[in-house]
Structure 1
């Protein structure tokens, strides 16, 4: 009986640890891995696992410096600008298990509810006042206004959001514990993905006309 109990405990222990290991980016097996341009350039994150590293003796300081965050990017109709930084634009991050983003919000602008399936995010407010928060799996909301110099964490896989509630433009930096955190915006996932209209009618109590309006608004072909 005791042996059986011991075996069960060992299985539970190993299952928990294997799940933790598999849930994060793999550990690097060298100091760094700058993709070798001789084998092609990084176009999408899907290519990262098949591009060989260039010889470490050929690495330069420039491989580990990124200068693309000096100004904001293009703004969406919601007043949001984001510049994601991952190995596709900053090869020095490859295999290091991290990435980050600069986000600028005009006055009153929002970062719509979304989540990152593969990473926890830590957000630092560089300037402004940003109403930020997330919703846990029991639908409890954790939200407050965070000011310049403050930090908030969004646990992996949980829906979170931001809104500039200040009188000036806001800027935040987000850091992820994955080089490919993924991002799925809730409105676009629901109304811009082609889910059956009848299901949406029953789920949200909307008419076909209202759903059509929402679909046109969140159609990925028209979103910028």
Structure 2
């Protein structure tokens, strides 16, 4: 009986200490974000809709260049994710569509093929490529910080959902980094071994200068 009473009291103390811990930190978009992310909204102002996001129910804006529609549910769009270390995205790829080479500095990624057939892969730091043909229901993990891609490998539209191990995974697109900038063409040629004429062509296509 004495042991049971002690355990009960310990449980009450432990429960009280947990109650003092903040359960969540819904993003306050009225305050500027800092290096650590968004400030927390006053708990009294938090609503259930802060934890619900309906944006992934429809495709995103269409990229004619890559034949893909991308839609993100990161902390900038979904305040309830703030500080939780998770997020989602949607990619609708038309026939021939591509999610081009890119990296996420802050997250690993898991993709789920919901419709169609997709070739997906990543390049490890030792330059070994890991590539797989995926079908509906397949998932693949893309490790943090590594270049990766997806290509529609079928003759119908492909739909892919992606989850990330960060509420703000960040993204750096390889083609935009190289050709949508004001870095001089000759420097890009010297540092990539690409032909200057092709670099200028791609800069013109993607909006780069110099």
> Could you say which TM-score interval applies, normalised by the shorter chain?
0.7 to 0.9
Determine the C-alpha separation between the residues in 2 that align with 1:147 and 1:158: 22
Structure 2 contact 179–203 (Cα < 8 Å) conserved? yes
- TM-score w.r.t. length of structure 1: 0.76
Match of 1:64 in 2: 51
Larger Rg: 2
Aligned to 2:84: 96
The 5 Å alignment of 1:129-140 reads 129-140=117-128
Change (3 A) 1:205 1:33: closer
Deviation at 1:70, TM superposition (A): 1.3
Query: What is the number of equivalent residue pairs in this alignment?
Result: 188
User: 2:23 matched to 1:35?
Assistant: no
> Over aligned residue pairs, what C-alpha RMSD do you find?
2.2
Change (3 A) 1:167 1:96: same
Report the Cα distance in structure 1 between the residues aligned to 2:166 and 2:187, rounded to whole angstroms.
34
Give the gaps of 5 or more residues in structure 1: 1-28
- What TM-score do you get using the length of structure 2 for normalisation? 0.81
| Unmatched tracts of structure 2, length 5 or more | 1-20
Match of 2:60 among 73, 92, 108: 73
Structure 1 contact 48–94 (Cα < 8 Å) conserved: no
Q: Distance in 1 between matches of 2:35 and 2:191?
A: 38
Segment drifting more, 195-204 vs 161-170: 195-204
Mapped pair 1:192 → 2:184: no
